Chains A and B, each alone.
Chain A
Amino acid sequence: DSGVTQTPKHLITATGQRVTLRCSPRSGDLSVYWYQQSLDQGLQFLIQYYNGEERAKGNILERFSAQQFPDLHSELNLSSLELGDSALYFCASSVAGQNTGELFFGEGSRLTVL
């Protein structure tokens, strides 16, 4: 158990809909990262937050947004969903904001868009 909690574990929805994925980092970790894993794109970095502020942005679509709240949990919002958004979405956390150490991953949220 990594200590990172993601909900929901599975989600099935229709095209055009909006979903919210939630992540609770390990106790004490200030950084939260979101990754998307699909068969054709592999693991893609989406966005990082550190202590409530956006720290780095990767291949995140404009239809997607995220935030980190004062209690350090984070939410990833996916809107106007398309079939191609079907993927595993992972949250990871780390203590620091710099690239000095390992990331702790949650078990992921599997999104299926029909």
Chain B
Amino acid sequence: DIQMTQSPSSLSASVGDRVTITCRASQSITSYLNWYQQKPGKAPKLLIYAASSLQSGAPSRFSGSGSGTDFTLTINSLQPEDFATYYCQQSFNTPRTFGPGTKVDVK
């Protein structure tokens, strides 16, 4: 199975900050990497798919990059509604696996 790791596990930031979250796969997944945002008590929301494609409706301040084993989610100019937990997920093969999540909270 492909293992996904994320760093950091949590971070504190302020509105307007640039935030970077890293996701690493235990083997190459080419660009089969998706990013989700989840708020407490809510279902996850797709932000980025295929490593760098912005999902329709997702704000343009979110961007993704990377390929192979190393990926990054960047939030430019953090907004109040962005405080949430972010998960990466590989869709290269089954079982699909999610990273453990990165919680972004208020500094």
| A, B assembled together | no
